[in-house]
Structure 1
Amino acid sequence: MDRPTALVPLHYVSLGAHGPEDVVPDPQGRVLTGVADGRILRVHHLGDPLAARVEVLAETGGRPLGLELLPDGDLLVCDAERGLLRVSTGDGTVRVLADSVAGEPLRFCSNAVALADGSVYATVSSRRHPLDRWIGDIVEHTGTGRLLRFAPEGGEPEVLLEGLQFANGLAASADGSFLVIAETGRCRLIRYRLTGPGAGRTDSFADDLPGMPDNLWREGPDGPIWVALAGPRVPPLHLLHRTPPAVRRAAARAAVHAPYRPSGTVGVVAVDDQGRTVHHLTRRRSGFRMVTSVCVTGDHLVLGSLREPGVAVCARPAAR
């Protein structure tokens, strides 16, 4: 991977709410996000901190995480408590698309992507630890993440993959032939093939990322896939993952009760459809921590965070 360049902060926009975990732009350049109290917000004029304005679109009644804007303007919302939702950005109507899978509640739904044929794919990060104990799953290395498919005609979600290490961000290739899945617990991206001779199989897409990948966002059909790095690699953690399950479970019990302070090193990566790095931006001693999402609007990169009470606006890097 190329030597990283500087992630240049420009300004910060407070939302009056905690934890804008995912950020996605709409065609007008406004940014949508979901926060810890269950609201879906739309932020106007992010490029000007004095003119920025926050609008409430809906309340999910749960905890929204990954967002996917649909062609008709509605929003797919992965809610950690309520499952997969469809939210009208016009009147705020919230409809539950799925709240169970394979006979169990759909919890910790993390990211979703809609394809041209009307099918929706979504990740589940953990079947063992809920969102407020996410660090327990990272430490225990449970491998209980999933990839789900929701057919256009509805019905029960189909489980396509199991055994993923904290399945997280999700994006489709430009031609729709494969999905890219972030495995946070393995610091890597994998490819799930949808078409061709290898359909239904997975292989490596980008290994040994410089941090733990979280949400993914594709910058249009010809642009790269942006990867938020929620934290840098932690070598002692990788050593712990090689220990017996009982040791990891004990460590996880301690981790969920210990104070957690995110690293001051933050970063984002952009990759093309061959898994090659297009951008690697990083900043040390950042005041804005635990970057869980990134998107582009205009000349800016917008960063979201599971922990911060606002979003960070950074300079967009020059094209490469």
Structure 2
Amino acid sequence: MAGGWLFMAGAAFATLLAIATHVAVHCPISPLPLSPPSSSLRFPSNNFLQGTEKLGEGRLNRPEDLCFDEEGIMYTVTRDGWIERMHRNGSWEQWVLVGGPSLLGIATSSTGAILLCDADKGLLKVRDEGATILASQVTNGTRIRFADDVIEASDGAVYFTDASSKFGFEDWLLDYLEARPNGRLLKYEPSTKTTSEVLPYLSFPNGVALSEGEDYLVVCETLRFRCLKHWLKGEKKGKTDVFIDNLPGHPDNVNRAPDGSFWIALLQMDLDRFGLISRSPMAKRILASFPALQQMIKPKGAMVANVGADGKIRRIFYDSDGKVISFVTSAVEFEGYLFLGSLDTNFVGKLLLK
């Protein structure tokens, strides 16, 4: 019996030694602990998102983000590299093939073009004839590694996020596990064709939106469960405050609503349910070293929040089980409806707001 226990102990030690050696050699991250918020505001789970209508079902490949132009035409990006658009009459058109799986944030421009963040290529401008690159690096020479979301101000300035200066699009989960402030907020000035850094050291900055008076930007810090308010005008110009903290999920994209409030898509990751893992740098090193284990880290269900200009949550809508829609990454209000982008569907969601 004693020999059996010794054999099992020896085998266990050998296994642990092999894991430790593999992690020491192959771990690509230097992680910090990541703690989910301890006192998030909780709203009743209403499953209101299960009333979502499915637009373009079957033709859209994981449409992450969307926008509307002045004529009410909806544009959305897909993982197969297309920008598709839906006309007022409900008909769909494959508009421009940009190529690649890394098309993320999209917004309209006063020039009539569409602005697009391609995580790999940078900031793009898209017209009928195709896409052109506006910025692939910052003027100081640093590469834009993970262009994420974009918005244009009325003066023509374009603000966009670079989610990570360390990891690219295909390795976004590594940045999530590392939990370090690798990202930044950038500004492209079309008159000089220069790109400058507005805010450095952000923890996976994702969505970006302008306030109604364009006096501040709202920037989602996905890894820190919060959104920042960066002032563009007034006495606090150049300063940054917390817009909303302790969100009940990771904020993805943010869009201003017609009434001046903001719609924020919130992700709930499996890893957040395992506090020991998210708080343990060693556990995260092991996950990062074994790609097969990373399959356990997935968003569950769907959640969007409506946050007032005062930074307070007004409404939260759920599909807690993901029965109709899951992994919602953007929410855009237009003409009394909420339109939903997702990385887990083949359609754009449409929800009547009452």
TM-score (norm 1): 0.87
One-letter amino acid of the structure 2 residue matched with residue 9 of structure 1: G
Of residues 43, 50, 55, the one that matches 1:3 is 43
Cα pair distance change 1:155/1:250, threshold 3 Å = farther
Per the alignment, residue 83 of structure 1 pairs with: 122
Deviation at 1:26, TM superposition (A): 2.6
SS at match of 1:314: strand
Instruction: Give the Cα–Cα distance (whole angstroms) in 2 for the partners of residues 187 and 193 of structure 1.
Output: 20
Instruction: Give the Cα–Cα distance (whole angstroms) in 2 for the partners of residues 7 and 175 of structure 1.
Output: 30
Higher mean alpha-carbon deviation, 6-15 vs 289-298, is at 6-15
Residues 78, 84 of structure 1: 8 Å contact kept:
yes
Cα pair distance change 1:295/1:121, threshold 3 Å = same
Per the alignment, residue 96 of structure 1 pairs with: 133
Unaligned runs of 5+ in 2: 1-40
Instruction: Give the Cα–Cα distance (whole angstroms) in 1 for the partners of residues 305 and 132 of structure 2.
Output: 33
Confirm whether residue 30 of structure 1 aligns to residue 54 of structure 2.
Answer: no
Instruction: Give the Cα–Cα distance (whole angstroms) in 1 for the partners of residues 297 and 276 of structure 2.
Output: 21
Deviation at 1:30, TM superposition (A): 3.1
SS at match of 1:157: strand
One-letter amino acid of the structure 2 residue matched with residue 58 of structure 1: V
Residues 272, 278 of structure 2: 8 Å contact kept:
no
Cα pair distance change 1:139/1:196, threshold 3 Å = same
Of residues 153, 157, 170, the one that matches 1:115 is 153
Residues 40, 57 of structure 1: 8 Å contact kept:
yes
SS at match of 2:287: helix
Confirm whether residue 273 of structure 1 aligns to residue 302 of structure 2.
Answer: no
Deviation at 1:9, TM superposition (A): 2.0
One-letter amino acid of the structure 2 residue matched with residue 154 of structure 1: T
Of residues 295, 312, 319, the one that matches 2:349 is 312
Of residues 276, 281, 286, the one that matches 2:322 is 286
Deviation at 1:263, TM superposition (A): 4.0
Cα pair distance change 1:260/1:129, threshold 3 Å = farther
Instruction: Give the Cα–Cα distance (whole angstroms) in 2 for the partners of residues 265 and 205 of structure 1.
Output: 25
TM-score (norm 2): 0.79
Q: Map 1:244-259 to 2 at 5 A.
A: 244=281, 248-254=284-290, 258-259=294-295
Q: Map 1:48-67 to 2 at 5 A.
A: 52-62=90-100, 63-67=102-106
Higher mean alpha-carbon deviation, 142-151 vs 4-13, is at 4-13
Larger Rg: 2
Per the alignment, residue 68 of structure 1 pairs with: 107
Per the alignment, residue 48 of structure 1 pairs with: none
> Could you give the per-residue CA deviations for residues 276-318 of structure 1, whole angstroms, max 9, x where no partner exists?
22321112212322110111233422211123222222232x3
Deviation at 1:230, TM superposition (A): 2.6
Higher mean alpha-carbon deviation, 233-242 vs 5-14, is at 233-242
Instruction: Give the Cα–Cα distance (whole angstroms) in 2 for the partners of residues 237 and 205 of structure 1.
Output: 27
Higher strand share: 1
Per the alignment, residue 194 of structure 1 pairs with: 232
Higher helix share: 2
